Amino acid sequence: MSEYQAPVRDMQFVMHEVFEVSKLWASLPAIAEVADKETADAILEEAAKLMGEVVAPLNRESDEKGSSWKDGVITEPKGFKHAYELYCEGGWNALGGDPAFGGMGMPKTLTGQVEEMLQASGISFGLLPMLTAGAALSINSHATDELKEKYLPNMYAGTWAGAMDLTESHAGTDLGIIRSKAVDNGDGSFAISGTKIFITWGEHEMAENIIHLVLAKLPDAPSGPKGISLFLVPKFLVNEDGSLGERNDFSCGSIEKKMGIKASATCVMNFDGAKGWLVGEPNQGLACMFTMMNYERLVVGIQALGAADRSYQNAATYACDRVQSRGPAGVVCPDKMADPIIVHPDVRRMLLDMRAQTEGARAFSTYVASWLDRAKYSENPDEKKHAEGMTALLTPVTKAFISDKALETAIKGQQVFGGHGFIREWGQEQLVRDIRITQIYEGANGIHGMDLLGRKVVSNGGRFIDFFVADINDYLASVGDSVEHQEFVAPLREAVSRLQAVTANIIARSESDPYVVGAVANDYLHLFGLTAYAYMWTRMAVVALAQQGSDDFYTAKLGVARFFFQRQLPQTLALEASIASGSASTMALDSELF
């Protein structure tokens, strides 16, 4: 496996040239106080060093060794604890945290780039700070000031880690049927009992304490999802002076043996009357969790993007070095016994497919992060509400479309290697295995397709789609009708019109066909994703056109943009036809015939 090189130049291009995030930050007072271009660039450069030199070299060996469990104790892979200490000492755990409790308060448009580097270096390791950041966000948004002051500073410092305890063996997507119970102790705390599964880094020795956020039901709770409450349950109880007290009454009963992310401990957690504290209002646990879900689901997409980009880097390096056969037009390297496989059209096709997807995903995840920043920090109520609508629409696409395409990208990278991609030493097969989970956790991708189409489009008559289309049209109006832009602008306009027509058709059909949303949701998700990427690639191409000839970077960007529009965007035509078929063939076969 080649060494990981963080794509800092492309991140700077997306942030500063395509989206001009400094202007956004300046318009949001809370961000303007802490973030500017110079600070952002310094952060990116330092993060690239840490991830490339400390975290990335651990990825392959840690996958080989994995985490182990014995008598309730987790032993993480060699090097993880030291790497985590360096990560925390550098303040990276605090990057997006609330400054009132020791965080740096950096915007998501910046922290998302650092998260990509972290996840590209190793998803198993990156899950620990990711979950801590998510737990801290939920606590900061919903807990009492007392709980915030007691827990957040140490979580931002990395002294204490975080974990999210949602899933039970019988309750995954349908959390309304969880069985975990919470009983009032009469002193402000609650006794939490039940078993949770699939708890990432639920137990480990890398931090002094682990703060679990646990979903459970109070005795008098309504049935279903409206009866779920959220509780803060620390591994070690915290004394009044902030020191650690006795161990709480819960433990890790085992860890899972998995297809991928083997270095992370995926735990079964048994709560036996553990002491916890209510976060938010009773029976509002899901609302508290969903505060951080938009952020977590964006990061899952970024996880997949990071690993896919690493697969591209490996494959591109290999394709330039590996010699096999002569080029179709004749000898390219007469001093060698064969030509590098990069000369072969099919290899170039795979590499361009990979690059178009990863660079499109990087732009799109930054675009979504910009709406998250507006939703969180804007002081204008109308702008804030509009941003919340855009975030609701784009989040399922970010998580599901990016991860779907990232797996395809990693598989293409494996294919470039041929037989070497199938064996362990090159690292390509690990990336395929690790990306696979991003399509499953934080909500399986099929659920996100139905969330996008059912909740975010059909249920409001396409209002959020109108927001998105208006944003594209505003941008196109700002670009004007320059002839040199038309090779990108014209197909984008066609794609947007196609998305609008398909959306209107589905909304109309849903009134008489209860199955249509579920039947076409996945195709609609991909139609939307490709259209969104067309918007991203248009914005990138317009910037690159203005700079062409000044730097090979812009020449390459234009080349990949043209490949996307000519070879990938036409897939929307097939998706349109598939969606038009509706639900009939999907629902025609009797269940017993499966």
Give the pLDDT mean for 214-224: 93
CA–CA distances in Å: residue 325 to residues 75, 280, 335, 343, 349: 47, 65, 13, 10, 17
Give the integer Cα–Cα distance in Å for 203 and 199: 9
Give the integer Cα–Cα distance in Å for 197 and 201: 11
CA 422 vs. chain centroid, Å, equals 26
Residue 225: predicted pLDDT = 85
The first and second tokens of residue 223, run together, are: 């049935």
Between 152-156, 400-404, 548-552, the lowest mean confidence (pLDDT) is in: 548-552
pTM, whole model, 2 decimals?
A: 0.96
Give the pLDDT mean for 474-491: 94
Q: What b/e string do you get for 166-187 counting C-beta neighbours within 10 Å, with b at 16 or more?
A: bbbeebbeebeebebbbeeeee
Give the integer Cα–Cα distance in Å for 116 and 11: 10
Give the integer Cα–Cα distance in Å for 516 and 525: 14
Q: What are residue 337's phi and psi, to 5 degrees?
A: -75, -15
Whether the Cβ atoms of residue 374 and residue 384 lie closer than 8 Å to each other:
yes
Proportion of the chain above pLDDT 70, given as a percent: 100
Whether the Cβ atoms of residue 133 and residue 96 lie closer than 8 Å to each other:
yes
| 3-state percent helix, strand, coil for the chain, nearest multiple of 5 | 65, 15, 25
Give the pLDDT mean for 443-458: 97
Give the integer Cα–Cα distance in Å for 296 and 130: 8
The first and second tokens of residue 63, run together, are: 């996958």
Give the pLDDT mean for 445-453: 97
Whether the Cβ atoms of residue 206 and residue 128 lie closer than 8 Å to each other:
yes
Mark out the alpha helices in 90-221 (DSSP H runs).
108-121, 123-142, 145-157
Q: Is 408 exposed, middle or buried (0-12, 13-18, 19+ CB in 10 A)?
A: middle
Question: How, if at all, do strands 190-200 and 266-279 pair?
Answer: antiparallel
CA atoms within 13 A on the CB side of 112: 33
Whether the Cβ atoms of residue 56 and residue 120 lie closer than 8 Å to each other:
yes
Question: Which sequence positions are flagged as catalytic?
Answer: 442
Give the pLDDT mean for 162-178: 88
549 has a pLDDT exceeding 90:
no
Tens digit of each residue's pLDDT (9 = 90 or more) over 35-77 = 999 999 999 999 999 999 999 999 999 999 999 999 889 999 9
171 has a pLDDT exceeding 90:
no
Q: What are residue 474's phi and psi, to 5 degrees?
A: -60, -40
Residue 423: predicted pLDDT = 95
Beta strands (DSSP E) in 56-110 are 68-70, 73-75
Question: How, if at all, do strands 250-255 and 181-184 pair?
Answer: unpaired
Q: How wide is the angle at C-alpha 7 spanned by C-alphas 430 and 9, nearest 5°?
A: 175
232 has a pLDDT exceeding 70:
yes
What value does the mean pLDDT of the chain take?
A: 96
Residue 559: predicted pLDDT = 98
Tens digit of each residue's pLDDT (9 = 90 or more) over 559-574 = 999 999 999 999 999 9
The first and second tokens of residue 89, run together, are: 């000492």
The first and second tokens of residue 300, run together, are: 């899952």
Q: What b/e string do you get for 91-103 counting C-beta neighbours within 10 Å, with b at 16 or more?
A: bbbbbbbbeebbb
Give the integer Cα–Cα distance in Å for 174 and 196: 14
Tens digit of each residue's pLDDT (9 = 90 or more) over 273-285 = 999 999 999 999 9
H/E element, 378: none
Give the integer Cα–Cα distance in Å for 90 and 94: 9
Residue 295: predicted pLDDT = 85
Give the integer Cα–Cα distance in Å for 310 and 435: 11
Whether the Cβ atoms of residue 22 and residue 36 lie closer than 8 Å to each other:
yes
Whether the Cβ atoms of residue 151 and residue 200 lie closer than 8 Å to each other:
no
Residue 72: predicted pLDDT = 87
Amino acid at 565: F
The first and second tokens of residue 502, run together, are: 């398909």
Residue 176: predicted pLDDT = 79
89 has a pLDDT exceeding 80:
yes
Residue 1: predicted pLDDT = 61
294 has a pLDDT exceeding 80:
no
359 has a pLDDT exceeding 90:
yes
10 has a pLDDT exceeding 70:
yes
* Sign of the dihedral through C-alpha 417, 420, 426, 432: positive
Residue 224: predicted pLDDT = 87
Give the pLDDT mean for 399-424: 97
Q: Coil, helix or strand for 179? A: coil
Tens digit of each residue's pLDDT (9 = 90 or more) over 95-131 = 999 999 999 999 999 999 999 999 999 999 999 999 9
Closest CA to 304 of 411, 388, 203, 387: 411
Whether the Cβ atoms of residue 198 and residue 169 lie closer than 8 Å to each other:
no
CA 69 vs. chain centroid, Å, equals 28
Tens digit of each residue's pLDDT (9 = 90 or more) over 237-285 = 999 999 999 999 999 999 999 999 999 999 999 999 999 999 999 999 9
Residue 287: predicted pLDDT = 87
